[in-house]
Structure 1
Amino acid sequence: MSAQTGGIAKPFDKEAALKRAIRRHFKTLGFTKNADGALVLPGEGKTVVRQLHRAQRRDRLQSAQPFLERALPKALPSFAEGSELDVSRIRLALRVVKSDTPEADLFRVATMTWSVPVSVGFGRRMRYLVWDESHDRLAGVIALGDPVYNLSVRDNAIGWTVHDRAERLVGLLDAYVLGAVPPYSFLLGGKAVACLVRSRDIFADFQAKYGGTVGVISKVAKSANLLAVTTTSSMGRSSVYNRLRLDGENYFERVGYTIGWGHFHITDTLFEQMRDYLRERDHAYADHHEFGEGPNWRLRTIRAALKALRINETVLKHGIQREVFVAKFAANAFDVLHYGEKEPDVSGLRSVAEISAMAVERWMAPRAARGEIDYHSWTRSQIPRLIRGLVDLPRADLRCTG
C-alpha cells in the first residue's frame, strides 16, 4: 500500500506522482473541467479530435521505431505513386494477413499512415490487405475483430436484451481497422474499401474460420454465420460511410452515435503506469487480459486505477460522439440477431471483384476525371514523412466539379 497521512497521498510517493501525471496529461490535451468534475472538450471538429489523439499517436510512433527501421524500407515499394495509376483499371482484391509475415508488417505500416492510432483488435480476428491487382500496389487495409460487448446504440437498433446479446453476439464482428492509403484515399478509395467488407468473400472466410466457433463469453460451441459488421467513425460524423450505396444496396447504414465515453485519451504510457500502480496492490486487473476475459479489459483496468486513486471516473467521458454504422450481410440480419430463429438471407451479397468494379465506376474514376484533387503528384517517398505527421495531404477542390 502507498504511504499516506490522514488519507492524503504524500507529495512525493508514486500515488501522488501518478495523480499529477493524469491531471497534467488532461491539461496538456486542452481539457478543462466543469462544476461536476467532468471533462470539457477544448473545441469541436476533426482538428480537435486529431489533437486529442496526438499524444497517443506520438507514444505509439516512439515505441514502433525499431519496427519501422526494419519494416519500412521493405514495405515502401508496395505503396503506389500517383502518376502510375490508371484509375479506370483499378481492380481491388483481398489478401489475407497472417501474423509474423511480410504482409503483417505491411499492414502495420499502412495503419501508421493515419492520424488516429488504430486498435490491435481482440479475440477473433480477420485481417486483409486490399490489393490493386492491376497496378500490383496496396490500396487499403481491413481488420475485423470481436465487437465491444456493451454498445447501447447497436443493441437498441437490433432490439437486443442482455440475454439476446449474450446468445447472439457471436454473429457480429467489428471493423476496427478500415481505410485506404494514399493515393487511393484521395480518390474516395476509403468508400471502395469499406464496401468490400460486405462481400461474399468475407462471409465465406468467416464461415471457414469461425463457423463452429466457441462463444468468448459463454464458452458454448455455436454454429455461427457472420450476420453484420459494425464500425465507428474516428472523427465524429463520417463522410466515408454516409450514403454508402452501390446499385441500390446499402453497404453501411448509420444506427446512431456513441455517448462519448471511453479511454482513447489515455495514452499507452499512462496506462502502463496505471497497471504498475495496480500491480503493486496485487489488483487482478493489472494483468487480467487473457483471451476470453472480454474486450473491455483496458477500460476496466483504467476504472480500477482511477477508483484506487480516488479520481472521479467521469474523466473517461471525453465527449467525442462517434457515428456508428452497420453492414448487414443478410437482408434479415437484425431479425436473425434479435430472435435467433430465422435462416439468414445472404442472396444479395456480391463478390469482391463485383464490388470493386462498381466502386471504381461509382466513385474513384469520376473523382479522377473531375480533376478535383491532385493525386498525380503523390510519391511513395512521402510515406515516411506522413507516418511522422509531417505531410499535409491534398484536399479536394469541389469547385472543379462544375
Structure 2
Amino acid sequence: MKTSNVIKVMTREALLKRKIRQHLQRVGFKHDEQGDLHLIADNKEAIRAAHQLQRTERSSKQRSFLESKFPKLAQHFAVGHEIDPLRVQPRLERVYSGTLQSDLFKLASLTWSVPVSPGFGRRLRYLVWDESQKRLMGILAIGDPVFNLRSRDEYIGWTGEQRGTHLIHTMDAYVLGAVPPYNKILGGKVVASLLRTRDLYEDFLRAYGSREGVISKRVKQARLAAITTTSSMGRSSVYNRIKLDGKKYLKPIGYSSGYGHFHIPDDLFLELRAYLRTKDHRYADGNEFGKGPNWKMRATRAALAMIGERPNLMMHGVKREVFICEMASNAVEFLKGEATELDLGDLKTAKEVGTLACRRWLIPRATRDTTFRQWTQQDLADLVSQTSGASISIADSNYRKGAPS
C-alpha cells in the first residue's frame, strides 16, 4: 500500500500569527493558564526589556548616519567637567528638517532608553541648549494628540462634541528630556518646565494658528491651550512635582490603559500593512496627515483580527503616567468652550522659566552630587553604540578644542 507524503503549506495568516507570537515571547510576553500571551511589566527593567528589540531595530537603521556624522555632532554634547551649574542658561532652538539641528535631534534621541516616536501631524521640534557652554542640554517635541485619552478627557470634563471641536487646541509632548550629563543633575525637570513657555505658544500660533483642516477643509483658529505627555516607564519621578513660583507646570492626571502597539516592531507592522493591502483594507495606507497617531493602532488591530489573532495582544500592560501642562490659567474653561480667549498673564518666556528651573533643581542637585563631572565623550559614544550596533569613532572629533562654531 502506497503512502503519500503530504506537505502542509502554512497560509499567510498562519505565518503572520507565528511570527507575532514568536516575537512577543522574545520581548517578555508569557502564556497564562488559558494559553493567552501577556506582558509582565511590573518594574522599569521589564519595561526597558520589552522596548529593547524595537529600540535596536530603529537604531540599527541609523547606523550609517551615526558612523558618518557622530564625530562632527559629538562636539555639541558636553563632557561633565566643563559644565558650570551656576552659569547654565537653557535656550530653545526650533528644529527644521534637513539641517544640522535635525541631525543633532536625531542623535540625541538615540540616547533615550526607549525608542522615540517620529510624531504625527502637526509637529514642533526643539533643541535645548546650555547657552553658557554652547552645548546641547536636551530635546523636546510636540505633535498631534491621540483622539482617545481617558485621563485627559476626564480631567477636562469634555463631552464628545466638545472634544471633537476643541482637540485642535491641544498637543502631545512625544519627546521630552535631557541628554547626558545634564540628565544626571535633573536637567530633565528643567527641559520639561520649558513646555509652559510663551516661546512654544507663539511658535504654535505662527505655525498652526490659522489653518485649513485636512478633513473638514475649513479654516480653524487654533490656540495652544494644553500639552499632554506620558512617562515611558510607568510612574515618573522626572515629571512629578514640577512647580515654579507656586505654579504647577505639569499635573499628574492618571494613567494610560496599557493598550497600544509599541511591542509590534516596525518590520512586523510593515508585514501586517502588506497583508491589509492584499485585502484592500482602508487602513493599509492611511498614515497621511490628518489620520493621527491612532492610525497605527487601528491598522494593527484590524490586521490581528483578520488573521484570526486575539485582540488582547494589543494589551501590553505598561500603564504610563499621564501629565497635562496648562498654558493658561483658564485652559480647561477654554477647552470646554466656556471661555473665548486664553488668559496668558502668567506665561513666561523660555529664558525666564529656564533660569527659575535651574535655580530650583539643577544647581542644588549638582551641588549635592558631583558624579556628572565624570561623564566623557567616550561615554556618549559607548551609549549610542550599545543601542545601534554602529562602529563609532571619536578620533576625528575636534570636541576638546573648544566650543563649536
**How do 1:3-402 residues align onto structure 2 when only pairs under 5 Å count?**
11-34=9-32, 39-371=37-369, 373-389=370-386
User: Structure 2 CA distance, aligned partners of 1:390 and 1:225?
Assistant: 38
Aligned to 1:5: none
Deviation of 1:138 (Å): 0.2
Deviation of 1:300 (Å): 1.2
- For the 8 Å contact 2:41–2:318, the answer to whether it is kept is no
The structure-2 alpha-carbon separation of the partners of 1:47 and 1:216, relative to structure 1 and needing over 3 Å to count, comes to farther
The structure-2 alpha-carbon separation of the partners of 1:334 and 1:217, relative to structure 1 and needing over 3 Å to count, comes to farther
Aligned to 1:7: none
Deviation of 1:276 (Å): 1.9
Aligned to 1:397: none
User: Structure 2 CA distance, aligned partners of 1:210 and 1:35?
Assistant: 51
User: Structure 2 CA distance, aligned partners of 1:91 and 1:122?
Assistant: 30
Name the aligned partner's letter for residue 382 of structure 1. D
Name the aligned partner's letter for residue 69 of structure 2. A
The structure-2 alpha-carbon separation of the partners of 1:217 and 1:324, relative to structure 1 and needing over 3 Å to count, comes to farther
Aligned to 1:396: none
Name the aligned partner's letter for residue 294 of structure 1. G
- For the 8 Å contact 1:238–1:323, the answer to whether it is kept is yes
Higher relative contact order (CA 8 A, sep 6+): 2
Structure 2 residues without counterparts, runs of 5 or longer: 1-7, 389-405
Aligned to 2:5: none
The alignment-based identity, stated in percent, is: 49
User: Structure 1 CA distance, aligned partners of 2:133 and 2:119?
Assistant: 30
The structure-2 alpha-carbon separation of the partners of 1:218 and 1:166, relative to structure 1 and needing over 3 Å to count, comes to farther
- For the 8 Å contact 2:145–2:292, the answer to whether it is kept is no
User: Structure 2 CA distance, aligned partners of 1:151 and 1:218?
Assistant: 22
Name the aligned partner's letter for residue 378 of structure 1. W
TM-score, normalised by the number of residues in structure 1: 0.91
- For the 8 Å contact 1:233–1:323, the answer to whether it is kept is yes
The structure-2 alpha-carbon separation of the partners of 1:241 and 1:53, relative to structure 1 and needing over 3 Å to count, comes to same
Does the residue aligned with 1:388 lie in a helix, a strand or coil? helix
User: Structure 1 CA distance, aligned partners of 2:35 and 2:328?
Assistant: 44
Cα-to-partner distance string for 1:51-90 (whole Å, 9 max, x where unaligned): 0000100110121112222332221000001000111100
Does the residue aligned with 1:173 lie in a helix, a strand or coil? strand
Name the aligned partner's letter for residue 268 of structure 1. D
- For the 8 Å contact 2:56–2:387, the answer to whether it is kept is no
Deviation of 1:350 (Å): 0.8
The structure-2 alpha-carbon separation of the partners of 1:37 and 1:148, relative to structure 1 and needing over 3 Å to count, comes to farther
- For the 8 Å contact 1:37–1:312, the answer to whether it is kept is no
Name the aligned partner's letter for residue 372 of structure 2. Y
User: Structure 1 CA distance, aligned partners of 2:297 and 2:119?
Assistant: 14
User: Structure 1 CA distance, aligned partners of 2:308 and 2:387?
Assistant: 39
- For the 8 Å contact 1:229–1:328, the answer to whether it is kept is yes
The structure-2 alpha-carbon separation of the partners of 1:35 and 1:161, relative to structure 1 and needing over 3 Å to count, comes to farther
Instruction: Compare 134-143 and 56-65 and name the one that shifted more.
Output: 56-65
Instruction: Compare 117-126 and 12-21 and name the one that shifted more.
Output: 12-21
Name the aligned partner's letter for residue 201 of structure 1. D
User: Alignment RMSD, CA only?
Assistant: 1.6
- For the 8 Å contact 2:209–2:221, the answer to whether it is kept is yes
User: Structure 2 CA distance, aligned partners of 1:36 and 1:291?
Assistant: 40
Deviation of 1:215 (Å): 3.5
Deviation of 1:213 (Å): 2.4
User: Structure 2 CA distance, aligned partners of 1:50 and 1:389?
Assistant: 14
Cα-to-partner distance string for 1:268-309 (whole Å, 9 max, x where unaligned): 111111112222333232222111123211111111110111
The structure-2 alpha-carbon separation of the partners of 1:328 and 1:37, relative to structure 1 and needing over 3 Å to count, comes to farther
Instruction: Compare 31-40 and 232-241 and name the one that shifted more.
Output: 31-40
- For the 8 Å contact 2:74–2:377, the answer to whether it is kept is yes
Does the residue aligned with 2:373 lie in a helix, a strand or coil? coil
Deviation of 1:43 (Å): 4.4
Instruction: Compare 11-20 and 235-244 and name the one that shifted more.
Output: 11-20
Deviation of 1:36 (Å): 6.1
Structure 1 residues without counterparts, runs of 5 or longer: 1-9, 392-402
Name the aligned partner's letter for residue 170 of structure 2. L
Deviation of 1:208 (Å): 1.2
User: Structure 2 CA distance, aligned partners of 1:324 and 1:251?
Assistant: 13
- For the 8 Å contact 1:38–1:317, the answer to whether it is kept is no
Name the aligned partner's letter for residue 379 of structure 1. T
The structure-2 alpha-carbon separation of the partners of 1:45 and 1:155, relative to structure 1 and needing over 3 Å to count, comes to same
